Structure 1
Amino acid sequence: MTQAFWRTIMSVSEQTFSQLPYVRPDLSALKASIDVITSTLDASPDAEKTLAAIRSWNSVRMQFSTMHSLAEVRYTQNVADTEAKSEKEFFDAEYPTITEWFTSVIKRILASPHRDAIVGAFGNLFIKRLEAGDRTFDPSIKDLLVEETRLCTEYSDITASAKIDVDGTTYNLSSILKLQIDLDRDVRLKAVKAQYAWLEQNSERIEGIYDRLVKLRTERAHALGYPSYTEFRYEEFGRVDYTANDVAVFRQAVIDHVVPLVTRFRQAQARRLGLDQIELHDERVQFVDGNPLAEGDHDWIVDKAQRMYADLSPETHEFFDLMLQRELLDLKTRENKATGGYCTSFPTYGVPFIFANFNKTTHDVEVLTHEAGHAFQAYRSRTYDVPEYLWPTAEACEIHSMGMEFLTWPWMDLFFGKQTDKFRFYHLQGALLFLPYGCAVDQFQHWVYANPSATPAERNAEWKRLEGVYMPWRDASSVPYAAHGTQWQFQKHIIEAPFYYIDYALAQTCALQYWQRSLEDRTQ
């Protein structure tokens, strides 16, 4: 990839997402660029030449990251697209080797006699992140990384291609959630049973994938001298200022203070619905007349969001108009589209991208504001030329997203009209209801990686036990397979992004503080 090519790339400032150029990285050219950088650093250059070499390396990494992100997005848009899957498989197979090349630069930077100049130019966090990257990679684990990525892709393919039949209509794992908020309790039960029937049919594959992932990750950690994958992952994930013990203290606080509160919320929910007790298929329905829903479809919601962000600030106005003009949102659910929602960015092009699955529930507005929080942060960071600073670590990322959910409260009437107060209750209560679940996911993973030889049945039993600790109201007796403790298998973070979940709970506590302060003085 020549400099002339990248100058051409930078000229695409008005192109839509579908027009953004994608070129599979030329590995020979990439290796040659890395060799030039390492040769420069090996020649004992002065501080100025050292900094110039690091800037060249940062540029190479951002160019590579842009193509990688484009390939990932296009694959998740349609996991059945053979061309998109081929590009993803290229990155999956070659990424460990490219990481090895990048690590060769890291080692030279860390050994440089110009440490003070490097810190002065790029910050101390830059060095800390490089040190963590150096400690968590070695060429000996490359094959393990390739296999881990392959298994995660297999799980994504399974969930994205789910076809769940309910009364002759086929749903995927996103669209079936609409039935689970139906006012007819029998419809809800039928939908939840169908969802778990699909899970049971695929359980052998999913549990097998996860079992292999746990063992691979443990082997990788041991190969690099870590006592378990937990310690390894904390460092790999960039958690440089808190530990697993700190997280355990947080989880205990949630057990002591939040679980009793939200248990009362569930009891009040049962009374509102006229039920003696909430069961699993009732959990998503908060009101006897239905959850608050946006008063229009996808295009209507996006139109209202454009008005909201125009009012919120000049910066958000500019940001969201750009997202629309350049078609940087993919929000509609469809067959073979990956589940969930996320935000990514294309550093060389200076733009973020939002991916979601609208399913005609309250979550449509929530996920849009959530991912827009990520995207706005990425947009505001677009001029940074250090990859480590384009995104903060995960718990800080989620403060931006969850904070945006609350900072947009004054405009929720645009979406919900007369249901706005109902939405605010639903959203605020939901933020608190989430905390125990988020902590359960985290504690489950700590247990899993402390017991890597556990059987699938033992993992399900541990999840069931944790439901009793964090969600004591849960009654899955009408859905037998769920009652075995299998819900965690739907949580893709557990499979694909281990230990990325407590970040949401930590960030939620900060977002709630933003909400409180915004009520006191929005100008601040």
Structure 2
Amino acid sequence: MIHKKTRTYIPADLDIKWENLEPIYRELLDRPINSVAELEQWLHDRSELEAALEEDFAWRYIRMTCDTNSEELLQKFQYFATEIEPKTAQYSNELNKKLVDSEYVDQLDSHKYFVYLRGIKKALELFREENIPLQTEIQVEQQKYQQITGSMSVHIGDKEFTLEQAGALLKDTDRSKRQEAWEKITARRLQDREKLDELFNHLRSLRHKVALNAGFENFRDYMFQALGRFDYTPQDCYAFHAAIETEIVPILHEQAEKRREALSLEVLKPWDTDVDITGKAPLKPFKNGDDLIEKSIQCFSNINRYLGERLEIMKDNGLFDVESRKGKAPGGYNYPLSETGAPFIFMNSANTFRDLTTMVHEGGHAVHTFLTADLELNDFKHCPSEVAELASMSMELISMDNWNVYFDNEEDLQRAKRDQLFDVLKTLPWVAVVDQFQHWIYTNPDHTAEERREAWKQIYEPFGAGFVDWSEHPDAEANLWQKQLHIFEVPFYYIEYGMAQLGAIAVWKNYKENPEKGLQQYLEALKLGYTKTIKEIYETAGIRFDFSAAYVKELADFIKAEIDKLN
């Protein structure tokens, strides 16, 4: 069993209520600092408090998403969001001022604290007291997305399915069954279209106010600063979109045409993209959630003993909730527990191949959590998404050589690897579309819901529009954006998947050339947390932080060659 780190500053039994927290914040704010050693001790004490608050919030979020029907769990989450976070935000800003104003701040080790202090200074620059209630309201409002989508289900035959479970039927070799499943899923989503439009309109308005208050023209420009995007600009993102359209979309068009011919269809419809083109039944890599966990432990152990032990620790401590059920929030995540030094993995398994890749993806995040658990300050563990997603996406590819634990025969194993590599390529256009769409949303803050749907279609179609014919289902195409949780809950967190996907391909390329060295470089990069810049972390992994058209083409050619080997 694992336990929280021993506290040296805050009480071991601290009850997370504001009346108990305020005296601790006051002590930190009022404490005299008379040397660089005392400043570092102050940083450690502040870090301990913040880690305790983060873990408390983590459990409130985890429990709420595991049961979106529980009013009690929702209220506990909302208490933190409305009663604790707004007050800690004010104090955190004052503590940031105390730090940068200290006469000893320049005596801190510049190599060790550069990235941390850069982030603190940026937070001070962006802080506006009038944004605290707005950010609180946003925090509460955006959770309504999970309440709405978590309650969605469909009846097919005499059974009720969550949308994740029904999605597994899109792999059925019987086309009429696929079509029925797709139409019912789509109709259910469209049923709540207006409700989600209203929710998003409200979120967009609140976010725009936050940006204006902070002195920005729009929320896009504000978020580039708030997310600490020191290494690239909006213009770089547009260049990335263009590189994907130029280098990746033609490959996927070619593969879509092969799919159409193999299925003997005049055109591909939205329900034809997931079925195996050989006519074989869907891959079944595991029996149930417990089997998925056990096989994943074995898979990770076969790569490296340390990796398997991390998942074993999680299993022994009840840190998984993997099976889909009604009332559970959609999606999947790895949530770090800051004091415990381990994470919780949440996902919605419907016993499909996609669930295997979700597990190894979240498992990559989990390994990252363990590797950074002992970093000196809690903030050192707060990796930017470009690094966090490198951890997870690289693990999807590195783990492939050990997927034999999921499959009994070589033919299924080859199918699984081929499907995974196609998914790697398919990820890139979708990332480009979602990112470009968010640029449009927030630089056109007064748009209507109808204009938003039209903008989505105009952005989606040059990237292949899923490489299917939407002519009979224009409403479904225009509404696809509502499936993407990130747009509602974590705005602008998406381009990172594309950047990290390129990085992951490069990590895997290194791993294939020299498994021991490639894995070691990957793990050494993850151990850094956020104590170095993104570019330095990528360099430690033996790769480049680069999303130019030439680099995209180089990595796309490598993946295409690997796919050809499997055909």
TM bracket (short chain): over 0.9
Q: CA deviation at 1:479?
A: 3.3
Q: Which one of the candidate residues 375, 381, 387 is aligned to 2:366?
A: 375
Amino acid aligned to 1:256: T
Amino acid aligned to 1:57: R
Task: Pick which of 61-70 and 85-94 moved more.
Answer: 85-94
Amino acid aligned to 1:321: E
Q: Give the equivalent residue in structure 2 for 1:437.
A: 430
For the 8 Å contact 2:173–2:276, the answer to whether it is kept is no
Q: Does 1:158 align with 2:148?
A: yes
Q: Give the equivalent residue in structure 2 for 1:362.
A: 353
Amino acid aligned to 2:394: G
Q: Does 1:477 align with 2:471?
A: yes
Task: Pick which of 312-321 and 445-454 moved more.
Answer: 312-321
For the 8 Å contact 1:174–1:333, the answer to whether it is kept is yes
* Cα distance in 1 for residues equivalent to 2:385 and 2:288: 31
For the 8 Å contact 2:190–2:476, the answer to whether it is kept is no
Deviations 1:37-66 (A, max 9, x none): 1112xx453222222212111111011111
Q: Which one of the candidate residues 256, 265, 268 is aligned to 2:255?
A: 265
* Cα distance in 2 for residues equivalent to 1:327 and 1:211: 38
Q: How many residues align?
A: 506
Q: Which one of the candidate residues 169, 172, 176 is aligned to 2:159?
A: 169
For the 8 Å contact 1:330–1:356, the answer to whether it is kept is yes
Q: TM-score, normalised by structure 1?
A: 0.93
Q: Give the equivalent residue in structure 2 for 1:314.
A: 305
Amino acid aligned to 2:447: A
Q: Does 1:45 align with 2:34?
A: yes
* Residue aligned with 1:417, SS: coil
**RMSD between superposed Cα atoms in Å:** 1.9
Q: Give the equivalent residue in structure 1 for 2:243.
A: 253
* Cα distance in 2 for residues equivalent to 1:480 and 1:241: 38
Q: CA deviation at 1:183?
A: 1.4
For the 8 Å contact 1:329–1:354, the answer to whether it is kept is yes
For the 8 Å contact 2:14–2:20, the answer to whether it is kept is no
Q: Does 1:346 align with 2:340?
A: no
* Residue aligned with 2:408, SS: helix
Q: Give the equivalent residue in structure 2 for 1:183.
A: 173
Q: Does 1:500 align with 2:493?
A: yes
Amino acid aligned to 2:67: N
* Cα distance in 2 for residues equivalent to 1:9 and 1:295: 32
Amino acid aligned to 2:18: L
Task: Pick which of 98-107 and 267-276 moved more.
Answer: 267-276
What does residue range 101-180 of structure 1 map to in structure 2 within 5 Å?
101-120=91-110, 122-180=112-170
Task: Pick which of 133-142 and 260-269 moved more.
Answer: 133-142
* Cα distance in 2 for residues equivalent to 1:175 and 1:23: 41
* Cα distance in 1 for residues equivalent to 2:213 and 2:391: 36
* Residue aligned with 1:277, SS: coil
Q: Give the equivalent residue in structure 2 for 1:221.
A: 211
* Cα distance in 1 for residues equivalent to 2:132 and 2:316: 41
For the 8 Å contact 1:442–1:501, the answer to whether it is kept is yes
* Cα distance in 2 for residues equivalent to 1:126 and 1:490: 35
Amino acid aligned to 2:259: Q
Amino acid aligned to 1:192: W
Q: Give the equivalent residue in structure 2 for 1:519.
A: 512
For the 8 Å contact 2:363–2:392, the answer to whether it is kept is yes
Deviations 1:161-194 (A, max 9, x none): 1122223322222111112221111111111211
Task: Pick which of 323-332 and 471-480 moved more.
Answer: 471-480
Residues 405/481 of structure 1: CA separation in 2 closer, same or farther (3 Å cut): same
Amino acid aligned to 1:469: P
Q: Does 1:384 align with 2:396?
A: no
* Cα distance in 1 for residues equivalent to 2:30 and 2:476: 57
For the 8 Å contact 1:294–1:416, the answer to whether it is kept is yes
Structure 2 stretches of 5 or more lacking a match?
518-567
Amino acid aligned to 1:338: A
Q: Give the equivalent residue in structure 2 for 1:17.
A: none
* Residue aligned with 1:459, SS: helix
Q: Which one of the candidate residues 392, 405, 412 is aligned to 1:401?
A: 392
For the 8 Å contact 1:132–1:236, the answer to whether it is kept is yes
Task: Give % identity.
Answer: 23
* Residue aligned with 1:331, SS: strand
For the 8 Å contact 1:374–1:398, the answer to whether it is kept is yes
For the 8 Å contact 2:361–2:395, the answer to whether it is kept is yes
Amino acid aligned to 1:46: S
Q: Which one of the candidate residues 457, 462, 465 is aligned to 2:455?
A: 462
Deviations 1:441-485 (A, max 9, x none): 0000000001011101111111111121112423223434214x1
For the 8 Å contact 2:51–2:378, the answer to whether it is kept is yes
Q: Give the equivalent residue in structure 2 for 1:4.
A: none
For the 8 Å contact 1:100–1:138, the answer to whether it is kept is no
* Cα distance in 1 for residues equivalent to 2:393 and 2:149: 25
* Residue aligned with 1:408, SS: helix
For the 8 Å contact 1:119–1:127, the answer to whether it is kept is no
